[in-house]
Each structure stands twice: as C-alpha cells, then as structure tokens.
Amino acid sequence: MARITITGLHKYYGNHHAVRGIDLDIPEGEFAVLVGPSGCGKSTLLRSIAGLESVNDGAIEIDGELVNDMRPRDRNLAMVFQNYALYPHMNVYENIAFGLRARKTPAGEIDKKVTDAAALLNLDLLLDRLPRQLSGGQRQRVAIGRAIVRDARLFLFDEPLSNLDAQLRDEMRGEIKRLHQEIRKTFLYVTHDQIEAMTMADRIVLMRDGIIEQQGPPLELFEKPTNKFVAGFLGSPSMNFIPSALVTEDGKVSVKFEDGTTLLLPEDRQSKYASQAERQIIFGIRPEHISRADGSDERVGVEKYQSVIDLVLPTGSRTYGTFHIGRTPVVAELQAHDVKGAGTALALLVDMNRAILIDPDTEIVI
C-alpha cells in the first residue's frame, strides 16, 4: 500500500494553468476518486502522480519519497487507461502476463499471478480467448488484470469505464470496488461521472478549474456541500436552486420566494439566521426532499407547498414532477403513481431540514 502526499502542485500547458497549487493527502489503502467536469485538471493530476506529466512546481511524495524526477517505471504503480490497450494477437492469458514477462518474472510465478488475477476478475474461463472475442466489460477486466498482477503499491484509474454502456458501467463499478476490498491497495480513480464517485469512493476529491473545491466522504459532500458548485454537481437529478430571501414573520425566520410563498425554517436553524433577515439568498433543495403530502405527515421542519405539476417524467420506480416557484422550474421526486399527468394540482412537502441557503454573490453555503 502507498500513501500519496501532494504539496503546492502546479502544472502549466503554455499559458494554461491546469493545476493550481493543489494540496492532497491520500492515506494508504484508501479508494480516492478525483471527480469534476471536463478540463478541471483531474487527469492531469493523475498523470503527474504517474510520472507521465512533469510538474512545474510543488512536490509529489509516495510513502514519504519525493518522486517528481523519478521515472514512471520506478514509481511501482500500475495504471488502467480509458482505452483497454490490449494486444489483439494475444489471448487473455498472454495479455495479462505480458508485463511480467517483460520484467523477466519466473514462469511459475507468472502462471500463479495470472491465474489468481483471472479468478479474482471472473476471467478464468476466458484465458484462451482473443480480445475481439470479448465484451467491453471483459476487455476492461483484462486491462485491470494486467495491472493487478504487477503487485504495485498504488493503482491509478483514468476514466476506465467511460467507453462502456450503462449496464456494463454498473457491473464494473461493483467489480472494481470489490477488487479494492480484496487486494486492499491504494486506489486513485478519475471520473467525470458523479454516480461513479458516490458509489465507489471512500473519499471524493471534487475539482474545478485546477483546484479542489471540497473533499471528504461521499455523504459528507452530498449532505454538507460548502458551495453551490459542489451541491449542484453531486446528485441526479441535480439540486434545485431557487432565488429567494430570508424574512422575519412573527419573530420567526422564513424563506420567501418570488411568488410570495414563505416556508418556515426549522427551529434549530432559527438562531443561526435570525440576524440575516431581509437578505437575498439562493434556496437549495434536492428533488428527493420534496414529496407528495398525504395528510398524515407531521415531521418537524417539513413545510407544505401548493403546486401545479407541468411536466411528468416517470422512470418506473419513481416519477419526477416539475413545477414552478416564480420563474424557476423545480423538480420533485415522487412515488410512481403520485401524479397522473401535467396540470395536476398537488400539495407537496418540502423538508426544510435538508435545505441549504447560499449567498448569491459568493455562492458559498451560509
């Protein structure tokens, strides 16, 4: 296993500042996921750790050893790329064994490592097949097998599932997470897919424009985002953001929307926002925290809102209904048969305990 410590890392491509002073510490054995939109610097950071990119400033340490000037082959790490990069004329066994043969590993050791890796990845019945005889998911497992036989101290994954269809991505996410639990090595994984990040990571490192916006356990980022970008990036459908204001009514602080509706903040949040009344805010609420009122819900901090659903998106197990607050479209996650069609008037419950309030100027959660 390996611990990665990155201090003050900068990377330029000409005038483009791709990585801007990143500090990051990944403990040994952790499954860390670098996630963010295209161009945020996550792949550049990964390739810098691998030694495939030189850095302009800062330090990269693996197990306390400075590796900035160390050749990739000497860093004792394995990397899985987006494209499988398998040799088409070699069968599965030979593809997995290729790196071991290149390092002149004894034949008996090669055979054991390949068969063990094949068993771990459910490839043991496919060892005689050529890459063209495999599905996309099977090819990716071969590429992973080629990496894990290295017995490297660190495993790097650069968007390995982006070429697969949705069903195969679901399957491979489970395969890679199970693999991490089996071999207990440090994994650093790059993706632009927030679902991959949420389902696989011990820790998410969310990047934008070459910096880290927030890092921590997936549920911490999901439930306690520090800013609007983090709140909007994680979750599907995305969090609703509604222009509004904090107001005081009868000594209580409420959120007032453009249509004049007010929703009372929970009692345990009253003192926090009592001094901020009359300020403009952005009200953030996730679709799953808006539900249909059934007349029996008496949860503390849950407020009722009368809506007219103007768009219905059924998915089978649930239905997403869109309505408007002022000029802002808002999505609610409803049960499958809660709404029959567009134009339905519906009383909704908004869980104010789960809402966030955002400063519209700084986009920081207040």
What CATH number is given to the structural domain containing 345?
Answer: 2.40.50.140
Q: What is the pLDDT of residue 226?
A: 98
Q: Which of 218, 233, 248 is the last residue of a domain?
A: 233
Percent helix, strand and coil across the chain, each to the nearest 5: 30, 35, 35
* The pLDDT value given to residue 275: 87
Q: What angle in degrees, to the nearest 10, is found between the helix axes of 166-183 and 136-148?
A: 20
In a domain, 71, yes or no: yes
Q: Which pLDDT belongs to residue 296?
A: 66
Residue 260 lies in a domain: no
Peptide linkage before 237 cis (omega within 30 of 0)? yes
260: tokens are 């004049």
Alpha helices in the chain (DSSP H): 42-50, 92-102, 107-120, 136-148, 166-183, 194-200, 218-223, 228-233, 270-273
Range of the domain at 336: 266-358
- For position 314, what pLDDT does the model report? 94
Q: Pick the closest to residue 244 from 279, 213, 275 (CA basis).
A: 279
ω into 243 cis (within 30 of 0): no
- Tell me, yes or no, whether 257 lies in a domain: no
Distance CA 7, CA 76 (A): 20
- Inter-axis angle of helices 107-120 and 136-148, to 10 degrees? 140
Q: What is the pTM (predicted TM-score) of this model? A: 0.90
Indicate whether 247 belongs to any domain. Answer: no
Check: CB of residue 152 under 8 Å from CB of residue 8.
Answer: no
CB atoms within 10 A of CB 175: 19
* 348 C-beta neighbours (distance < 10 Å), count: 20
> What pLDDT is attached to residue 121?
87
Q: Tell me, what CATH number does 227's domain have?
A: 3.40.50.300
Are both 211 and 278 inside the same structural domain?
no
Please list the pLDDT of the chain residue by residue as tens digits (366 residues): 799 999 999 999 999 999 999 999 999 999 999 999 999 999 999 999 999 999 999 999 999 999 999 999 899 999 998 888 899 999 999 999 998 998 889 999 999 999 999 998 889 999 999 999 998 889 988 998 998 898 889 999 999 888 778 888 888 898 889 889 988 899 999 999 999 999 999 999 999 999 999 999 999 999 999 999 999 999 999 999 999 999 998 889 999 999 999 999 999 999 999 988 889 999 999 999 999 998 766 688 999 999 999 999 999 999 999 999 989 999 999 999 999 899 999 999 999 999 999 999 999 999
Cβ neighbours, 10 Å, residue 178: 12
Is 166 part of any domain?
yes
366 in a structural domain: no
Q: Which amino acid is residue 165, in one-letter code? A: D
Same domain assignment for residues 220 and 317:
no
Q: What does the angle CA 45 – CA 191 – CA 77 come to, to the nearest 5 degrees?
A: 50
Four-residue CA torsion sign, 358, 361, 363, 366: negative
Residues 199 and 288 in one domain: no
Query: Based on the domain organization, do 186 and 308 belong to the same domain?
Result: no
CB 321 within 8 A of CB 311: yes
* 209 and 341 assigned to the same domain: no
For 298, the token pair is: 């008496």
**Domain shared by 25 and 88, yes or no:** yes
Contact predicate 237/322, CB 8 Å: no
Do 78 and 156 have their domain in common?
yes
246 in any annotated domain? no
- Same domain, residue pair 191 and 278: no
- Based on the fold, state whether residues 172 and 104 are members of the same structural domain: yes
Cβ atoms of 156 and 46 closer than 8 Å: yes
Which of 181, 178, 143 is CA-nearest to residue 159? 143
CA distance 58 to 38: 23
Overall number of domains in the chain: 2
Whether 119 is covered by a domain: the verdict is yes
């955002």: which residue's tokens? 358
d(CA 38, CA 49): 19
- 300 & 168 share domain: no
Q: How far is CA 292 from CA 12, 307, 354, in A?
A: 51, 10, 16
Q: Are both 280 and 173 inside the same structural domain? A: no
Q: Distance between CA atoms of 178 and 172, rounded to whole angstroms?
A: 10
| Domain co-membership, 163 together with 41 | yes
Strand, helix or coil at 350?
strand
